Chain A
Amino acid sequence: MSDHIVSWKVYVGVFLALVALTVTTVVAASYDFGPLNVIVALGIAITKATLVVLFFMHARYAGGLTRLVVLSGVAFFFILVFLTMSDYVTRSWSLTGAS
């Protein structure tokens, strides 16, 4: 079998990183970064999710076809949010400059 057997220490390391990032997101939430608040929170969440996908879900050791499916899931979610927001964000825009 081509099973990649990773040391259990890798899993514990990923777990500790996830705990540290969870603490970071809570601490960051007590500061006001203005419009960057959501960016900071989502940036930390995306980092955590990436760690889970790569190490816990073994995507790092997976073949090309599996990686393609993982990326397509992310890509289609991006299309869903991007096209939806491109509509809602621009509804109040006006060609004449009046809001």
Chain B
Amino acid sequence: MPEASAPPAQGPLAHHFANLKQQKHAAVLGMWVFIAQEVLFFGGLFATYAVYAMKYKEAFEAGSGHLNWKIGFFNTLVLIASSLTMAMGVHSAALGRSRRIVGWLLATVFLGTVFLGVKYFEYGEKIAPCFGMGAGPGCLVPGQLFDASVLHVAADVAPETQIFYSLYFAMTGLHALHMIVGIPIILWIAHAAWKGRYSPAWHTPVEIVGLYWHFVDIIWIFLFPLLYLMGRH
């Protein structure tokens, strides 16, 4: 039996895998299949954005021009930094430094929370005026309360700006939902790292959650120019 001469398995090796290497490859491949599926999940929204941005160019530029690109820029930097801390967490796991994994994962969670906090105020500014609250410029939630006057567009273009804001909330909302799902999973894995469950030979969960987090970063890399920068020209 060739397995008999292999070094003793460190970490949980499921009985249906020959060794940890094969098990890890299966897990990483499975995560990539999930990510490919996620690309198409978001892809539907990106395709919708492409069609409407082409059809209602003026309305989309007005809607995009009203978004605060400085906030989007800040959040882009925060999310890129969180990808770096996540990559360093996976790096620490490969080197077997459990305490450092915890530190880097907590830094990632912190940066993710900062991103969501900024998003909370960004959303609030657009939603609160619909209920007569807040200091925002006007209600920007698509529907009967939508106030296109703050966008300074022609009357015939005004209804089309609602489509921009529908896509703005759908795309950034789905992205934020992915982060809200990711943060507790990262905390759970940080807890396992704190307990010393991971080793250089087996730290697959750290790698898998890393892939997920980087994917969420990539989505934002495309959302930022499409939503925040198209109206600046």
- B211 near A11 (CB under 8 angstroms)? no
Contacts of B50 in A (CB 8 A): 81, 84-85
- The answer for the CA separation of A12 and B50 in the assembled complex, in Å, is 33
Contacts of A19 in B (CB 8 A): 77, 80
| CB within 8 Å for A15 and B81 given contacts A5-B91, A88-B51 | yes
- B226 near A30 (CB under 8 angstroms)? no
Q: Specify the chain A residue showing the minimal Cβ separation from B61.
A: A37
- Number of A-B residue pairs at CB separation under 8 A: 139
Binds A, one of B138-146, B182-190, B215-223: B215-223
- B226 near A41 (CB under 8 angstroms)? yes
Cβ of A80 < 8 Å from any Cβ of B?
yes
Cβ of A2 < 8 Å from any Cβ of B?
yes
| CB within 8 Å for A76 and B36 given contacts A1-B201, A8-B91 | yes
| CB within 8 Å for A56 and B95 given contacts A15-B81, A29-B229, A48-B221 | no
Q: Specify the chain A residue showing the minimal Cβ separation from B202.
A: A1
Contacts of B196 in A (CB 8 A): none
Which applies to chain B's interface (DSSP): helix, strand, loop or mixed? helix
Contacts of A53 in B (CB 8 A): 214, 218
- B51 near A52 (CB under 8 angstroms)? no
Least distance between A35 CB and chain B CB atoms (Å): 10
- A84 near B51 (CB under 8 angstroms)? yes
Number of B residues, CB within 8 Å of A: 53
Cβ of B44 < 8 Å from any Cβ of A?
yes
Cβ of B33 < 8 Å from any Cβ of A?
yes
- The answer for the CA separation of A5 and B224 in the assembled complex, in Å, is 31
Contacts of B171 in A (CB 8 A): none
8 Å CB interface, B32-54 against A:
32-33, 35-37, 39-40, 43-44, 46-47, 50-51, 54
- B233 near A37 (CB under 8 angstroms)? yes
Contacts of A38 in B (CB 8 A): 230
- A65 near B229 (CB under 8 angstroms)? no
Binds A, one of B21-29, B115-123, B156-164, B173-181: B21-29
| CB within 8 Å for A5 and B95 given contacts A25-B229, A48-B221, A88-B51 | yes
- The answer for the CA separation of A89 and B73 in the assembled complex, in Å, is 31
Contacts of A84 in B (CB 8 A): 47, 50-51
Q: Specify the chain A residue showing the minimal Cβ separation from B223.
A: A45
Q: Could you jot down 5 A-B contacts, CB within 8 Å?
A: A11-B87, A18-B83, A32-B233, A69-B29, A80-B47
Interface residues of B (CB under 8 A from A): 20-21, 24-25, 28-29, 32-33, 35-37, 39-40, 43-44, 46-47, 50-51, 54-55, 69, 73, 76-77, 80-81, 83-84, 86-88, 91, 94-95, 200-201, 207, 210-211, 214-215, 217-218, 221-222, 224-226, 229-230, 232-233
